[in-house]
Chain A
């Protein structure tokens, strides 16, 4: 038996009803990713990259086409099934780290595990382990407002990794950071990829996109391969 398809999009189309008009956001998008890849989706704002990210992240479903993630067909899933899939397969990193301000760094990392139903001890152990992994072993009990922007983003990355996801999905992960901290975060992504984690990064910034091993361009809803860059 062949290994299940890891990530495959076939002829994905997405339309949005905007008043009278029906906007065609994604046009026949085909995309295949192997396990362990590091991919950037590069495109200007309004190109449809956010919509693509939402579909990849199972926050939204395509109007037509087939999307298979880790051997499962996503297209016809209910909202609850999508939630379980996100919980099991996807770790999100957002532009603004999106930490809950009333929870400590450690509690923030535990959050996805709560919804996955992991017990308190195991949660705690995993959260501490991941915070150590991103270099914040001395910041576990800090509240988000006591952390710098870079540290907050690293907490967010630890949180994304908490559910041990198949796919790490980052949306402009350095958008809110200065250049130096942005580079540190990029280095962390590269390390995680070196450890075998599949990473997809959405960005409008060529300099950020070229940190990935493979770049695809999206313009006006159409996807094109941009070839590998900056191979390590």
Chain B
């Protein structure tokens, strides 16, 4: 028993050496054969590594937009085109809701002195918004309830705006004309940050003004987009249910008046899509690479018919022949896979430099690439190896 295990090991070790000999003895052909596997594995590795680096920065920006918010976009019904200030106040009375910030955006022509810029993104917010984004203000004051109630012409501006309109001047207390209306600059923002989904979709606003003022400038009496901050102890799911109940009531139970978007579900959806693309790519690479290996192995078996017959005549048992060819396709595939991993990592390093995302070597991706190429070698090498092991030694020798 022990002796037969030992001799099996000896035989398998020798198979590895002979296979390597065969692969290296035919370098050009081996290279072309593993090209499919190489490119496939490289693509999968590059994709996963790049996506990892990318979704690292993606999910950090997603979480800053906050878990714990729901963004509602209102399309309205014939009777009710949006939510009034009173409706918003009513929403804040919900247990699930810690606060509500309307998003009233407009694109305006902004000027000061002789210079002006068109299509500046202006967003109307309420005081609660600044409570939620405490680090937004760098200097001056935020917009408060008085601003909302009195529709004051106060604004906060981004560093970009400071650079454009207030070069060498302290902007606070200065006037800025938005669509011809003089606004008083009361505070400076740390960035152009609107950390919410509407910010991502509409572009980050450069100027924040009271939402009531913004509504007036839009000639609108209703809000069509707002962000809801969830109270402690509420998940997106439970809060969505509570919010839906209230909104359905407000819109008299008409369908399709509004849409509630949940950050974490959007993030999940994106992650799922990326995973599916990776899986699809891996699948295609598997088939393409595998067929290359299989084709080569079938050719090899045909070419080496005599060798197989000879080995059988010299006492090789069918499974010994089979394992030898399996080892050869396995080695071929793994060599291709290893080269693919190296190439993939190089590609993703370059990509991360170009795109400015993080470069994180994913152990998972490397294991996937290695396991994947080994599997391809064994799966697609199986049939050719089986064919070799079944050759009749007499026919095999006669073909010489």
Contacts and interface: CB of A to CB of B under 8 A. Distances in A.
A189 interface: no
Nearest to A110: B14
B313 A115 contact: no
Contacts of B21: 102-103
A117 B8 contact: yes
B21 to A, nearest CB: 6
A52 to B, nearest CB: 12
B314 A87 contact: yes
B152 interface: no
Interface string A76-90: 000110011011100
B314 A159 contact: yes
Interface stretch (B153-161, B217-225, B304-312): B304-312
Contact of A119 (B10, B393, B397): B10
Contacts of A163: 314-315
B394 A60 contact: yes
Contact of B317 (A60, A84, A103, A120): A84
B7 A116 contact: yes
Contacts of A92: 313-314
A111 B311 contact: yes
Interface in B299-326: 306-307, 310-320
Contacts, number: 75
Interface residues of A, number: 29
A103 B311 CA distance: 13
Interface string B10-43: 1100100010011001000000000000000000
Contact of A54 (B18, B307, B394, B400): B394
A126 to B, nearest CB: 14
Given A98-B400, A102-B21, A102-B25, A115 B393 contact: no
Given A116-B7, A117-B6, A83 B312 contact: yes
A59 B310 CA distance: 11
Contacts of B313: 57, 59, 86, 92
- Interface SS majority for chain B: helix
A221 interface: no
Nearest to A85: B315
Contacts of A60: 394
B390 to A, nearest CB: 9
Contacts of B318: 79-80, 83
B372 to A, nearest CB: 30
Given A102-B22, A114-B10, A117-B11, A86 B394 contact: no
B115 interface: no
Contacts of B397: 94, 98
Contacts of A79: 317-318
B4 interface: yes
A64 interface: no
B315 A86 contact: yes
21 contacts: A59-B313, A83-B316, A84-B315, A86-B312, A87-B316, A92-B313, A98-B310, A100-B310, A111-B311, A111-B314, A114-B14, A115-B311, A115-B315, A115-B316, A115-B317, A116-B7, A117-B3, A117-B6, A117-B7, A117-B10, A163-B315
- 6 nearest A-B pairs in the assembled complex, by CB-CB distance: A117-B7, A87-B315, A112-B314, A83-B317, A115-B316, A114-B14
Interface of B: 3-4, 6-8, 10-11, 14, 18, 21-22, 25, 306-307, 310-320, 393-394, 397, 400
Interface of A: 54, 57, 59-60, 79-80, 83-84, 86-88, 92, 94, 96, 98, 100, 102-103, 111-112, 114-120, 159, 163
